[in-house]
Amino acid sequence: MSVKRISCPSCGATLQLDSTKTICEYCGSNIIFEDRNITELEEEYQNLCIRFKFGKTESDYKNLFVLFSAMENYKDSATLAKKSIARAREIHKHNNILKTIKILSPILLIIIIASIGFASKIVEKNNHDVNKINIRLLSITSKITEDTNYAQKDKYIINFKYEMDNKTNVDIDYIEFVMYVDSVDGFRIGSVRSQFGGSTNKSINLKAQDTLIIETYIYTYSLTDDHLINYLYNKTIEDYIYSYEVTTVYFRDGKKYYLY
């Protein structure tokens, strides 16, 4: 409550009043004092307190800071002035953060979408990584057919037994690969292209994370007519060095791989 100076109506002495009723310290007269300015100040103070409670914007609290400061320390107006400017600064900082987020949001969205796409490609690559299909030659067997059927008689046949290990996460319906045959001193003797599955043999049904044993063969009517069979006939897998290259894969989920 601010202090008011008035003259005593009985003795004329100057008095300091801090309430609406007091006693003159000089003549003892009772003085009833109605200070309309104090009443108006209190109303303004209460109104500002309400505005402080429900303020929302930086401008609201900047205005309150000015108005509380002008009340010359009435009640706790000085404290509320400090709180008002502090609240204005908080809102200003918060708004700046929101503006930054608004500016960065499209960039962050692009980064997130790109990251998801990149992650999806990694997953897809891992699911369909043909480098995770391992092939190993288990055995070579040679024979001459003795079938009475003229078309099948006297063929020089070499049979290959393979182990295929599917370390991908997707089943395989069809696979084509090339086996290269080299001598122990690095001389390329030849190659054998093999196909398993597809429209002719249906699916090989090589399941994900599974192993399959499968066989194929090559043949000729004369050893001198086929360079590779001439080398491989009646040989064992220890006689040469073998390497493999997957050229085509049809995965069960529809993904196809071609090496051109």
Give 133-154 pLDDT, tens digit per residue: 999 999 999 988 876 665 667 7
Contacts of residue 51, Cβ cutoff 8 Å, sequence gap at least 6: 60, 64
pLDDT at 191 (0 to 100): 93
Residue 33 has pLDDT above 60, yes or no: no
How is residue 46 written in tokens?
């209460």
Which pLDDT does position 158 carry in this prediction?
92
Cβ pair 252, 173 in contact under 8 A? yes
pLDDT of residue 122 exceeding 60, the answer is no
Q: List CB contacts of 168: < 8 A, sequence separation 6 or more.
A: 126, 127, 128, 129, 130, 132, 133, 208, 209, 251
pLDDT bin (cut points 50, 70, 90) of residue 36 is very low
Is 197:166 a contact under the CB 8 Å cutoff? no
CA 231, 233, 238, 239 dihedral sign is negative
CB 158 within 8 A of CB 142: yes
pLDDT attached to residue 149:
65
- Work out whether strand 133-144 and strand 156-166 pair parallel, antiparallel, or are unpaired: antiparallel
Task: Give this prediction's pTM.
Answer: 0.52
164 has which bridge partners?
A: 135, 212
Q: Are 247 and 192 contacting, i.e. CB atoms less than 8 angstroms apart? A: no
Predicted pLDDT at 119: 52
- Over the stretch 47-74, which tens digit does the pLDDT of each residue have? 989 988 888 898 998 898 888 888 878 8
The structural domains of the chain, with segments of one domain joined by +, span 4-90, 130-258
Fold of 130-258: Immunoglobulin-like (2.60.40)
Is the pLDDT at 224 greater than 90? The verdict is no
pLDDT of residue 77: 87
Structure confidence at residue 1 (pLDDT): 45
Among candidates 15, 162, 156, which has minimal Cα distance to 6? 15
The alpha carbon of 211 is separated from its chain's Cα centroid by a whole number of angstroms, namely 33
CA separation (Å) from 40 to 34, 37, 45, 54? Answer: 12, 5, 8, 21
Instruction: Look at residue 222 in the predicted model and tell me its pLDDT.
Output: 86
Q: What is the mean pLDDT of residues 113-124?
A: 61
Q: How many beta carbons lie within 10 A of that of residue 197, not counting itself?
A: 20
Question: Residue 213 phi/psi, 5° resolution?
Answer: -100, 125
Predicted local distance difference test score (pLDDT) of residue 150: 56
Using CA atoms, how far apart are residues 20 and 23, in angstroms rounded to an integer? 11
